């Protein structure tokens, strides 16, 4: 019998019961006196009692699991969630904790192929606390925003049956189970592209799947909102409105889809990641200071935005690029205006941002009708919307004319995302960039000044889909056995 | 007799009668036949008749003058008028022609020793049209602004008696006499410091003296206002309010003195002339576009400024630097905010302007109470108000630390105006600048970045007096004989 135990012992040696079985095995096989054997067995039962109590506090016993593998399982879900770029801006909260905004906002979801967050969430009775890793580095979950999201999701969790692995988790057990979360952005953090929107949306979406929440995406957006306001808009693809809501508890402050990404698929988006040496004000701090000190913000929130929201909805509905561009640019500028009206003033745009605005404004004026719209968030990066692919090609040529790549690094890492626009623009190498003629609208500035080094790189993308689950298990960021980052 | 004529002829050869006297002289002295002499004299009288008619149309005969020197006189006045720097901003007109603003504004007049316009105005019956020279170069007076000022002043002109030269000009004659105007700024035009305020104020002040206007300085300011809005504030020294007025004809839109320059003589003003490669929007065009497109301007003009005006008056009255600084900075920032809220957006500040703001804001925060206030007009130059001389020394040390002079050009042309602050700061040469320690408030940016070349030079100055007449005739910019630029 002792020999029969061995394979079993090896199989489950990592579980809590492993050492106890070894002990039992030894007590039977070692050539000991009866007295010793009794002493040995007493010790064994004391230890068993101890482990039994330990398992009670860890709630291990409450869960069904595979026979012979009790409490060792890890259940995981991996999701991918897009970034979004607002065209009617969110700036200013009326409630700092619930993250309730002072006005509605509208955004476009960006193609997750180029800009997204991937998050794997895992639950296991072996986890002794909630833990999170962001881009491979463990971060604290003690902040109020994470805690609010986790609390809201746990309170909505339902029974989960994992038929494949034969695991059942009852609704009431979620309060006691711990989570591991690993999150990864497919774009450099140094880009200064706000990643918290996609991040919190992905966290909430993935956890909602893991914990079998019954809420739809708009309801989930009220949870994501409590992590980062603009995250609520990343729960949908295409064109999204965050309705500010009226309820004090924030239940009606949620994101709805205005149109999916197919609705206006002519649009091409080019993001100029602008080099910056300035330390920027975080958007949370910035908007709090604006609410406290700007005398223009209230007027914007009460009088200006409520008029622009239906105009923007109409422009999107009709794919009316001229109206869309006019509103988008005016919104971006007004957002930065209220930042400047803050005490002390907040500057997110720099001289390069202004040069890009000037290039776009000159071109639009020259053409007589808007070709490109620009918007800037809480940083110097420009997000440019071209009315169609043909315009995007002309835009990219202009951008490369004024902001040529460093010949040492070349084009490949300078234009990322959808590189096919570059090819269509007839640009295959540095030589082609050097051969670009000055745009016709710049007739009054000869020779045209160039600004090599002022832009780090460009991302070519388009409107994209909302969050999705990744069923391919190789894409999970956590090890399915240990629940730790791969 | 012919020989007696000669000195007279030479004396007045530049006058209109000169050639005629030559003719008369020749007709009597040349050895001609009686027939020829009669022909000669007939021709002479025909010419006399012609000149008489010419003089009628030029009104020459209407003026008294020295015996034997009829119509050859030039009467001149030279005045010096300061620049002013607004602390409650003027941006936006409700009437483009009369130049009536959408809100009151308040300014500080700068010491004319460092920044002023000198203007000589001259009248002479020999002038055949109104002419003007600005910084030595003739410019057109056909623009509406000049025409409005000249018309308004002429309509208020009164009798002038120049006892010294025995010249009398009757009120009704001013309409027919022509003027020569020469104007000169004691600071480089390239500085981008708005010179039109001092320029129009000086033009109006000098002409008012020349034409013996009875209006006081505030009444004169309504005329200067029609040349350039902010010019009205340069009619007074010290602390000045431009009351926007209500009348449709603009009669009550005028400047009044809140306090003279002695009232708060602790203040020290340092202007950073910032290097700029950007072509800037003229303030006239800029404010028109803001009025037409900004949704925030109206709120600013109707709600914000009316509250700030009495606060600023109170701060000035009580020499309350903390309130003065808070309001001045907030006003500058809000003015640039409404510029940014314009379509297309207007940017006057650049990265250097923003760095200066950041240096001041950090220092003020570090000290816990404002040491320095900043304001920016329609350009990137910073105008900094230090609460007293001691603070000004610390400010100059900070400015030189971050923006050191190019060692090739040295300090002498880098700090202009009141150089005594430099001396008090213990800085006598480049070596002293290089030895400046980083300011204590910049503990988080080691090593501190420096920005040589981003500032062209600094002007040290203070609040100053209003317009004055210059009695020293050597300071006149026009030749007293010819009425042309010296």
CA distance B9 to B14: 9
pLDDT-derived band at A57 (thresholds 50, 70, 90) equals very low
Position A265 pLDDT exceeds 50: yes
Closest residue in B to A341 (Cα–Cα): B334
pLDDT-derived band at A409 (thresholds 50, 70, 90) equals confident
pLDDT of B445: 56
Across A437-451, B121-135, B210-224, B331-345, least confident range: A437-451
Closest residue in A to B277 (Cα–Cα): A449
What percent of chain A is modeled with pLDDT above 90? 77
CA distance A237 to A258: 9
On chain B, the residues whose CB falls within 8 A of the CB of A323 are none
| CA angle centred on A156, ends A67 and A150, rounded to 5° | 90
pLDDT of B47: 57
Position A442 pLDDT exceeds 70: yes
pLDDT of A62: 38
pLDDT-derived band at B187 (thresholds 50, 70, 90) equals confident
- pLDDT averaged over chain B? 88
Residue pLDDT, tens place only, B313-330:
999 999 999 999 999 999
Chain-chain contact of B329 with A343 (C-beta, under 8 angstroms): yes
Residue B42: count other Cβ atoms within 10 Å of its Cβ: 11
pLDDT of A16: 43
pLDDT-derived band at B280 (thresholds 50, 70, 90) equals confident
On chain A, the residues whose CB falls within 8 A of the CB of B278 are 354
Choose the mutation target among A89, A336, A351, A355 for the interface with B, i.e. most B CBs under 10 Å: A351
Give chain A's radius of gyration (CA, Å). Answer: 28
In Å, the largest CA–CA distance within chain A is 105
pLDDT of A208: 98
How large is the average pLDDT for residues B227-232?
Answer: 96
pLDDT of B422: 92
pLDDT-derived band at B401 (thresholds 50, 70, 90) equals very high
How far apart, in Å, do the first and last CA atoms of chain B sit?
A: 37
Residue in A303, A337, A365 nearest the CB of B338: A337
B 278-307 residues inside an 8 A Cβ radius of A: 278, 293, 295-296, 299-300, 303-304
pLDDT-derived band at B2 (thresholds 50, 70, 90) equals very low
pLDDT of A106: 98
Closest residue in B to A328 (Cα–Cα): B343
Position B179 pLDDT exceeds 90: yes
pLDDT of B216: 97
pLDDT of B261: 97
On chain B, the residues whose CB falls within 8 A of the CB of A296 are 296, 299-300, 304, 334, 337
B 317-356 residues inside an 8 A Cβ radius of A: 326, 329-330, 333-334, 336-338, 340-345, 347, 350-351, 354
In the sheet where B254-259 sits, what is the strand order? Answer: B84-88, B105-109, B239-243, B254-259
Position A65 pLDDT exceeds 50: no
Residue pLDDT, tens place only, A288-306:
999 999 999 999 999 999 9
CA distance A383 to chain B (A): 16
Closest by Cα among B276, B287, B422, B358 to A277:
B358
- Range with top average pLDDT, B177-191, B437-451, B467-481: B467-481
CA distance B144 to B248: 19
Position B443 pLDDT exceeds 90: no
What percent of chain B is modeled with pLDDT above 70? 83
Q: Higher confidence at residue A25 or residue A405? A: A405
CA distance B291 to chain A (A): 14
CA distance A99 to chain B (A): 25
Q: Higher confidence at residue A164 or residue B439? A: B439
In the sheet where A268-274 sits, what is the strand order? Answer: A372-376, A382-386, A268-274, A455-461, A415-417
Closest residue in A to B355 (Cα–Cα): A278
Position A78 pLDDT exceeds 80: yes
pLDDT-derived band at B59 (thresholds 50, 70, 90) equals very low
Helix (H, G, I), strand (E, B) or coil at B281: coil
CA distance B2 to B5: 5
pLDDT-derived band at A164 (thresholds 50, 70, 90) equals confident
Position A37 pLDDT exceeds 80: no
Closest by Cα among A71, A54, A70, A62 to A172:
A62
A 132-151 residues inside an 8 A Cβ radius of B: none
pLDDT of B14: 40
pLDDT of A53: 46
CA distance B315 to chain A (A): 18
| CA angle centred on A292, ends A290 and A293, rounded to 5° | 70
- pLDDT averaged over chain A? 88
On chain A, the residues whose CB falls within 8 A of the CB of B304 are 295-296
How large is the average pLDDT for residues A109-117?
Answer: 96
Position A48 pLDDT exceeds 60: no
Chain-chain contact of B296 with A277 (C-beta, under 8 angstroms): no
Closest by Cα among A40, A21, A415, A349 to A192:
A349
Across A15-24, A141-150, B127-136, B242-251, least confident range: A15-24
pLDDT-derived band at A4 (thresholds 50, 70, 90) equals very low
Element (H, E) at B180: strand B178-185
Q: Higher confidence at residue B50 or residue B470? A: B470
pLDDT-derived band at B15 (thresholds 50, 70, 90) equals very low
Chain-chain contact of B343 with A357 (C-beta, under 8 angstroms): no
pLDDT of B92: 97
How large is the average pLDDT for residues B276-305?
Answer: 91
Element (H, E) at B55: helix B34-57
Residue in A277, A341, A345 nearest the CB of B357: A345
Across A27-41, B5-19, B100-114, B415-429, least confident range: B5-19
Closest residue in B to A350 (Cα–Cα): B351
CA distance B348 to B282: 10
pLDDT-derived band at A276 (thresholds 50, 70, 90) equals confident
pLDDT of A21: 55
CA distance A373 to A173: 50
Choose the mutation target among A88, A306, A345, A376 for the interface with B, i.e. most B CBs under 10 Å: A345
Instruction: From residue B225, give the alpha-carbon distance in Å to each of A212, A246, B197, B236, B464.
Output: 72, 49, 9, 13, 20
Residue in A334, A344, A361 nearest the CB of B296: A334
What percent of chain A is modeled with pLDDT above 70? 83
Chain-chain contact of B341 with A342 (C-beta, under 8 angstroms): no
On chain B, the residues whose CB falls within 8 A of the CB of A449 are 277
């Amino acid at each position: 019998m002792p020999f029969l135990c061995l394979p079993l012992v090896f199989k489950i040696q990592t579980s809590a019961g492993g050492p106890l079985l070894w002990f039992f095995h030894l007590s039977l096989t070692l050539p000991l006196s009866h007295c010793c054997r009794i002493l040995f067995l007493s010790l064994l039962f004391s230890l068993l009692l101890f482990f039994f109590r330990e398992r009670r506090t860890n709630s291990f016993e409450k869960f069904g699991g595979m026979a012979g593998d009790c409490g060792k399982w890890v259940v995981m879900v991996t999701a991918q969630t897009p970034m979004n770029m607002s065209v009617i801006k969110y700036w200013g909260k009326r409630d700092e904790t619930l993250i309730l905004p002072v006005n509605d906002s509208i955004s476009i979801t960006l193609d997750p192929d180029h800009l997204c967050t991937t998050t794997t969430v895992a639950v296991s009775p072996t986890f002794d606390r909630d833990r999170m890793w962001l881009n491979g580095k463990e971060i604290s979950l003690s902040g109020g925003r994470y805690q609010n999201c986790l609390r809201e999701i746990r309170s909505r969790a339902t029974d989960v049956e994992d038929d494949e692995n034969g695991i059942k988790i009852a609704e009431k057990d979620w309060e006691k189970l711990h989570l591991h979360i690993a999150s990864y952005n497919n774009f450099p953090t140094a880009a200064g592209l706000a990643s918290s929107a996609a991040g919190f949306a992905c966290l909430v979406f993935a956890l909602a799947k893991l914990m079998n929440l019954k809420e739809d995406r708009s309801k989930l957006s009220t949870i994501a909102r409590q992590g980062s306001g603009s995250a609520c808009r990343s729960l949908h693809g295409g064109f999204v409105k965050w309705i500010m809501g009226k309820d004090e508890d924030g239940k009606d402050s949620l994101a709805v889809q205005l149109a999916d990404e197919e609705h206006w698929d002519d649009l091409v988006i080019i993001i100029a990641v602008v080099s910056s040496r300035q330390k920027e004000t975080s958007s949370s701090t910035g908007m709090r200071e604006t609410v406290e000190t700007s005398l223009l913000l209230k007027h914007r929130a009460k009088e200006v935005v409520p008029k622009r929201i239906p105009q923007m909805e109409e422009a999107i509905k009709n794919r009316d690029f001229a109206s869309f561009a006019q509103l988008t640019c005016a919104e971006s500028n007004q957002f930065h205006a209220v930042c400047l009206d803050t005490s002390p003033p907040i500057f997110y745009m720099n001289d390069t941002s202004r040069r890009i605005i000037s290039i776009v404004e000159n071109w639009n004026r020259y053409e007589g009708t808007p070709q490109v719209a620009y918007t800037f968030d809480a940083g110097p990066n420009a997000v440019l919307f071209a009315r169609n692919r043909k315009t995007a090609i002309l835009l990219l040529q202009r951008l490369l004319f004024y902001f040529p790549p460093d010949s040492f690094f070349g084009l490949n890492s300078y234009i990322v995302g959808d590189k096919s626009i570059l090819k269509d623009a007839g640009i295959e190498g540095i030589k082609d960039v050097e051969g670009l003629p000055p745009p016709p609208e710049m007739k009054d500035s000869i020779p045209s000044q160039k600004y090599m080094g002022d832009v780090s790189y460009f991302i070519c993308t388009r409107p994209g889909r909302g969050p999705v689950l990744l069923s391919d298990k190789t894409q999970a960021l956590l090890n399915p056995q240990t629940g730790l980052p791969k």
